[in-house]
Amino acid sequence: MTGPAGPRGDRGSSAPAKLTEYRAKRDPKKTPEPMGAKKAGRKAETALPTFVIQEHHARALHWDFRLERDGVLVSWALPKGLPLDPKSNHLAVHTEDHPLDYGTFAGDIPKGEYGGGTVSIWDHGTYETQKWRPKEIMVVLHGERAEGRYVLFPTEGKNWMIHRMDPAPANFEAMPDHVAPMLALAGELPSRDKEWAYEFKWDGVRAMVYVEGGRVRAVTRNDKSLMTTFPELRDIGEFLGARSAILDGEIVALDKDGRPSFATLAHRLHLTSKTAIDRLAKSSPASFFAFDVLYLEGRSLISAPYDARRATLESLKLQGETFATPPSATDVKGAQIARIARERGLEGVVAKRRSSHYVPGARNGDWIKIKNFRTQEVVIGGWTEGQGERAGSLGALLLGIHSDAGFTYVGKVGTGFSSASRKELLDALAPLARKTTPFNERLSPAETALAHFVRPLLVGEVRFAEWTTDGHLRHPSWRGLRSDKDPREVEREP
């Protein structure tokens, strides 16, 4: 670490020696980075030293924070960038000193070389030194984006922390740790189209995506992490860079014709092998379809009307191999959007009141889902063995829904399974076995004789024709497990 000195320090006498480590890590024939051959010219004694922050898309996205000092740029790598909230410290990893002319460098470092990746200048300016000691460096930044007083202090080894000393910028709001998703009521198309926006209903898994400092955290409605299952979600962090955001949307798996395939997605949800997950993430990645933004760069948008949130979302231009912003229609009739959804084989349409605020966890009628086919979430209470070729394997699942009356039986499903899904289900159900029925009503003797009962903890989804008069599903077909849902949340669809 460069030692204490005057306001600017010695502008170059010891710079070559300080660049030994920097030059040892780089081959000037292979990388376009400056090697520090250019000598710094003298400036007026009153001129302030410079700083630069470079966004570095290397193996892991980070920001390089560099302060001009004693003829070099003293440098730290900030994995999450500069903190704006004085209540939050960020890691700063001390790296080798860089030459002064690195302060204007932007470009591509070849893959395989040290720091390989794309470098761009995120901000630059001047700074004032308030303290420069071995264990405390305090500076005041004067940049185009970075402004204010910061302190750096070492913790262990090369690890330092950077802390904002000044209050947060005006109107800054810290990103909330958790926002419950707003929910839609099942219903019919609204009669007054001008008051509503129409979006396609995607046959996927709801996800709340939190992005901060290029790092992504994605959770289901019941707060289960999705990052291990869908590592491709990290692409959103690379795209947004330093912009912090909370996005609401759907994870969708597309088939070869570009249509959502819930069966494909359900298979991904239950993979546990990292090798298999990584292989599918590359060969047939899932996509995150963002349909709302609730927080962006220090500002909550929850109380903003739908139209304002939608305009902000579209301004982000989220479009990549694994993420997109699907369309929202405000100048067409809902019936026309519903017809297009049917023609394309989509699940349906969601109508959203254009003046409505985002109400976390609410199902207040400002969002209405209109389905093209009937689906129902169900809880598995048991299973029966197959006959003939399927003897010893899964024949059908016994299904129920929790209600005020208890765990109510709603029928069984024996179609829609692949041989692989039958095995996956049996493996998942085996640890949940119980001797007695979990249902609050007695099954027929024939069903009871063949049944293997389980604790009602696994949620799945079926497609069906209608409800019978005795409250059972008519012609159900299995669609897949829903690990994103809690069994107590499952309600009978109207």
Give catalytic status of residue 201 as yes or no.
Answer: yes
**What are the C-alpha distances in Å from 218 to residues 32, 177, 215, 306, 420?**
37, 11, 10, 22, 27
Q: Which residues pair with 186 in a beta bridge?
A: 369
In the set 201, 352, 412, 485, the catalytic residue is: 201
Q: Identify which of 83, 62, 63, 66 has the alpha carbon closest to the alpha carbon of residue 74.
A: 66
The answer to whether the CB of 360 falls within 8 A of the CB of 182 is yes
Q: Identify which of 326, 331, 325, 324 has the alpha carbon closest to the alpha carbon of residue 354.
A: 331
Alpha-carbon gap, residue 227 to 219, rounded angstroms = 8
Active site residues per annotation: 201
